[in-house]
Chains A and B, each alone.
Chain A
Amino acid sequence: MPKKNILTKSQMEIMGIVIIIILFSVGLLFAIQYVILKKPTDVKKSFLQAELSSNSLNAMLKTNVPECNNADMASLFKDCTGVSQEIDCCIKLDPTQDCIYDGSISTTGMADTCYVLNQTINKILKDTLNVWRVPYIFTAYYVESDPLAWTAGITSDIPCTMEDEGRPQEFTLPTTQGNLRIVLKVC
C-alpha cells in the first residue's frame, strides 16, 4: 500500500474521533445546563412567601395589645400617626406595678403608641419569621413620603437578597393624615 494512502486513512480516523468527542462534549454540556444547573422549583418557598407576608400583616392588625387597653394594632397605627395620641399605653417596668390609664405624665411606664407598636411588631416578627430563618423587611409610610421613623430597624437578622425577594404584601390603612401603607416584604 502506498505511504500517502496510509496517512490519509489515519487522518480520516483521527477526524472521526474528533467528531465523536465534539458530539459527546456538546451532549454533556446540554445535560449539565438543563438537568444539573436547573434551579428546582421550590413550591413551598413561593407559597410561603405569599402566605407569610399576607397572613402576618392581617393577623397582626387584628391582634389586641394588652399594654394599650386591649386596642387592636390597626387602631394603634391610626393613633400613632394621628396629631394627638388618644390611646394610653403602659409598659410595666416592674411586674408588680399597676398601669393607670389616666394620661398623667407622672405615671411610670407610660409609653406612646408608636413605641409600643415598634416593640410589639418586633416581638411578633422575631418570634415567628426570625425563628424560621425567613428574611423580612417591615415598613410603614404615607404615599410619596419616607418610611416612618419608628419602623426603622424592624428587619430580620438575615439580610434579604435580590434574587430571593418576593412580592411585598401591602396593607392600606386610612388615617387622618392620609392613606398609610403598611408593608411586609418576605424574602
Chain B
Amino acid sequence: MKMMENVAVMIIFFMLLGLGFIFYGKIGGHGAKQDIEKYVQLQAVKLAKVVAALPEVRCSEENVPVQDCFDLLRVEEAASKIKDTTNERYYFEILGYSRVAIEEKYPGNGSIIVYDNQPDINPTSDLEEIKFSYIPIYIPITLFNATINQYSFGVLEVGTYDK
C-alpha cells in the first residue's frame, strides 16, 4: 500500500515537471520568434538608413548633400551601374539580399527599381520548404529633376528578403 502511494506521488510529480517543461519550452520558443522578428526589422531599418545616405543617388547643392533628397538623373544612372555585373559584388556587400525602389507620387507617377537581389532557393533542399519573406519600409523623400529644376514628392521603398 505504501509502495503504491509512493509510485502515485512520483507519477504526479513527473507529470507536473513534464507539463512545466512543455510550458516553458513554448514560452521560450515564442520569445525566440519575437527576437528573430525584431532582428529582421532592425536589418530593414538599418538598410533604409544606408540607402538614404548613398552618395550615388543623393542630391547635392554646391557639393553639400541635401537630406532625404534623391536626384532622379543620379538614380537612373546608379540603377544601370548597379545592374552591371562588374559592380554586383560591391553592391551586394552593402545591400545584401534586398530590394530598393524609388516611386514618384506627386505630381507624376513612375518608379525606378534601383536594386533587387532575391536569394536563390536551392532546388536540392527537398526536405524543408524555404520561404523568404519580404519586409518593406517606405520612406517619403524629395525627388529632384535637374533637367526641369523641379522637386516632386516620392517614396523610397527598401525591403530585405529574410528566411
Residues of A within 8 A of B (CB): 20, 24, 28, 31, 35-36, 40-44, 47-48, 51-52, 55-56, 58-60, 62-66, 70, 72, 120, 123-124, 127-128, 132
Contact = CB atoms under 8 A, between A and B. Distances in A.
Contacts, number: 80
Contact of A62 (B31, B34, B151): B151
Interface in B11-37: 16, 20, 23-24, 27, 30-31, 34, 37
B110 interface: no
B107 A40 contact: no
Contact of B38 (A43, A48, A58): A43
Contacts of A20: 16
Nearest to A60: B153
Interface string B125-163: 000000000010111111000000011111100000000
Contacts of A55: 68, 139-141
Interface residues of B, number: 34
Interface of B: 16, 20, 23-24, 27, 30-31, 34, 37-38, 41-42, 44-45, 48, 67-69, 105-107, 135, 137-142, 150-155
Nearest to B19: A24
